[in-house]
Amino acid sequence: MTTGDAVMSALDALRLHKLRSALTMLGIIIGVAAVIAMMAVGGGAREQVIAQIRSLGSNLLVVTPGNITAGGVRMGSGAASTLTDDDSVAIMNEVGGVQVTAPNMRGTAQLVAGGMNWATGVFGIDNGWFEARDWDVEHGRMFEPEEITRGAQVILIGQTVARNLYGGIDPVGQELRVRNVPFRIIGVMSRKGQTTWGQDQDDVVFVPLNTGRQRVLGRNMANARAVGSIYVKVRDGEDMSIVENDVKSLLRQRHRLQPGQEDDFTVRNLADIAATREASARTLALLLAAVAGVSLAVGGIGIMNIMLVSVTERTREIGLRLAVGARQWDILRQFLFEATGLAAIGGLIGVLIGVGAAYIISNAAGWPLLIEPASIVLAVLFSGLVGVFFGWYPALRASRLDPIEALRHT
């Protein structure tokens, strides 16, 4: 018997029992579909998280003030006014590997433009902010250095603010009142989208830092040069943890903190946040892979069970073939092809169902669909291996039947 004859014989046997073959393939179909959907959805979710983290700025450290204690009551992180413009300048000049620093303040305010109004976040910044956040002006221009120094009443607005206050009208050059202070719009920022916690980054306006202090956000009475936080962008290739430790050491020295005394600031490494979220995604992927693996194993056991039943039902047929000259290898190959065919066809159907499920889930969640061809090939090959592994014993048992005893089987 040639290989082609063995394959055709195996397919004929599967066609003869269509319902039984379909039910046998069910476990393989579910397992492969779960693998494909898991890899596609997991990959898309990971890309979405990475894109959202990247939108905050790459290689970024965020330094925020620490807490203060008043009357035995700790006020929480950010309550103290311990960071200043001078800290930002010192980090830029004295810490190696720093590309740019960006001191900033933030608050909320009601904006009024003509007959429209909108409440949003207001940031007081310098131009280092845009480099730190990898954020550009889409239409118009950034602040001039002279505008930042003298505290000019100019403003940049986000896409959400532009849409809600001006609709389809070009806002550049228009007047915008922030807490009744008139500003001239000089640009509209490019779109940033949402953060990982769902905040709209485009619902914001930016004013020069000094302008924010003097006219909108208010000056800190305890420290006139206090800022809300400092963004520190680290150069590519530099070790983030080393720069983070250097920043902490410098700030402790500048703030005259004694050994053992608690930091009056906090440094957050956004790369650590991204790594944590990627680790969570990997854990979820491993969990789904375990579920898919169990399903494939159950499917394989189903194939073995059906093949053993098939060997019993076809004992006389096997005996007749052996009696007329078929070799043990021919019988082994025929039943092995049947088992592998069941698993491979189930794998192909599982791929189609998995791709469909991944498409539906990605659309519902708003994630990008990421299906790698290698994952499809791997799933089909693995299902074929399941067929070989679980079909080997029934095929071997069939090939070792005694022809005389097989022909006497009733």
For the stretch 4-30, pLDDT in tens is: 776 777 777 777 777 878 888 887 888
- Listed residue (393, 357, 351, 358) closest to 375, CA to CA: 351
Q: Residue 198 has which token pair?
A: 């769902």
Band of residue 102 on the pLDDT scale cut at 50, 70, 90: very high
Dihedrals phi, psi of 265, to nearest 5 degrees: -155, 170
User: Per-residue pLDDT for 369 more than 90?
Assistant: no
Question: Average pLDDT over the chain, rounded to whole?
Answer: 83
Of the chain, the percentage scoring pLDDT greater than 70 comes to: 88
Mean pLDDT of 341-369: 83
State the Cα torsion 109-113-118-120 to the nearest 10°: -40
Candidate ranges 37-51, 58-72, 188-202, 314-328; pick with highest mean pLDDT: 314-328
What are the pLDDT digits (tens) for 139-179? 999 999 889 888 889 999 999 999 999 988 899 999 999 98
Reported as type and span, the H/E element at residue 355 is helix 328-365
What pLDDT does residue 138 have? Answer: 92
Is the CB of residue 97 less than 8 Å from the CB of residue 238? yes
What are the pLDDT digits (tens) for 279-336? 766 776 677 777 777 877 888 888 888 888 888 888 888 888 888 888 888 888 888 8
What pLDDT does residue 386 have? Answer: 85
Domain layout of the chain by residue ranges: 3-52+276-408, 81-263
Residues 6+ away with beta carbon under 8 Å from 397: 308, 311
290 or 275: which leads in pLDDT: 290
